[in-house]
Structure 1
Amino acid sequence: MARRAIEWLRGEGLVADDAADRAIAVHPDPELATGSSDEQLARRVARELRELYGARLKQVVLFGSRARGDADPDSDMDLIVVLDPMDDRWAEHDRMDELLWRETLESGIVISAIPLSVSDLAEPKTMALMQARVEGRAVG
């Protein structure tokens, strides 16, 4: 239960990533996988995105098979990158492309990111985004 609360606080931006990581290490939740390599990679990418975007980055959400824990070795890593403001989705893809490719080459896992505005995530218009909102886990 403590880990879920800490994850929620992190997702809401009320606790810094490093403080949340320390708290999770002290208060593991036996019902949730802790410190998986997928989660560690997603958090590392989220930290790099925070450096790239600063205050514009509102949240990074891991979704898909790697969030559910049923990924195959060849599965990609799917991230939602919530930005405010977010004017041009393609420009944001271009902006984060080098970072994502560097992490892809280092990890051997293809990392895909979907830039969204706060309102896009709050009111998803596609089934894929609705599913991502349900199964997704905040990682930054």
Structure 2
Amino acid sequence: MLNQPISTVLTQVQQNLKQLYGEQLEKLILYGSQARGTAQPDSDIDILIVLKDVFNYSQESEKISQLIADLCLEYNVLISCAFANSEQLEHHDSGFFRNIRKDGLVI
């Protein structure tokens, strides 16, 4: 169960990214300690942004950087975002994607 401040932050992230990406946004997945329920008070919020099509990672990072920075300041938390498409999420065999498939929570 996520605590209320984290839920509020996730709702804001979700609303802003839906507005930014529209139909290109497939889903958001919370992963890491917040998803596993092992977060400490100073733990960051790790979010995987799953896009429907092929994308340029650096361009997408740049696109969301100000939005995420503003939310970090507003809520006094560190939000870390990564990007993938469905193919990468479902089929890459790296530890990163295996852990997300195992522990991640779709927002």
TM-score (norm 2): 0.91
Q: 1:119 aligns with which of 70, 87, 90?
A: 87
State the partner residue of 1:57: 25
* 1:29-108 pair list within 5 angstroms: 33=1, 36-108=4-76
Provide closer, same or farther for how the CA distance between residues 34 and 110 of structure 1 changes in structure 2, counting only shifts above 3 A. closer
Aligned-CA RMSD value: 1.4
SS at match of 2:84: strand
* Structure 1 segments (4+ residues) deviating >4 Å: none
Per-residue deviation, 1:35: 6.0
Displacement of 1:124: 2.6
Superposed CA offset, 1:93-128 (max 9, x none):
111111110110111111011011111111133102
- Cα 1:34–1:76 change in 2 (3 A) is closer
Q: Secondary structure at the match of 1:86?
A: coil
The number of residue pairs the alignment matches comes to 107
Unaligned runs of 5+ in 1: 1-32
Are residues 71 and 35 of structure 1, via their aligned partners in 2, closer, same or farther at CA, if it must alter by over 3 Å? closer
User: Cα distance, 1:40 vs. partner?
Assistant: 2.7
Higher relative contact order at CA 8 Å, sep ≥6: structure 1 or structure 2? 2
Identity over aligned residues, as a percent? 27
After TM superposition, give the deviation of residue 34 of structure 1 in Å: 6.1
Normalized per residue, which structure has more strand?
2
The answer (yes or no) to whether the contact 2:2–2:37 under 8 Å persists in 1 is no
Which stretches in structure 2 are left out of the alignment for 5+ residues? none
TM-superposition CA deviations, 1:53-89 (whole Å, max 9, x none): 0000000000111111211122110000001213201
The TM-score normalised by the length of structure 1 is 0.71
**For 2:39 and 2:64, how far apart are their aligned partners in 1?**
24
